[in-house]
Amino acid sequence: MDMNRRQLFRTNGAGLMGSALVAMGFSPTLALVETRHSNSPAPRKPAIPARIARWVAAS
Residue 50 domain-assigned (yes or no): no
Residue 46 domain-assigned (yes or no): no
Residue 45 domain-assigned (yes or no): no
Number of domains forming the structure of the chain: 1
DSSP state of 24: T
Residue 1 domain-assigned (yes or no): yes
Residue 15 domain-assigned (yes or no): yes
Give the dihedral of Cα atoms 35, 40, 44, 49; nearest 10 deg.
-60
Residue 11 domain-assigned (yes or no): yes
Q: How much of the chain is in helix, strand and coil states, percent to nearest 5?
A: 65, 0, 35
Residue 53 domain-assigned (yes or no): no
Residue 15 domain boundaries: 1-36
pLDDT per position as a tens digit, 18-57: 888 888 877 766 555 555 555 566 666 667 777 777 777 7
Confidence grade of residue 9 (pLDDT, cut at 50, 70, 90): very high
Q: How far apart are CA 48 and CA 54, in angstroms?
A: 10
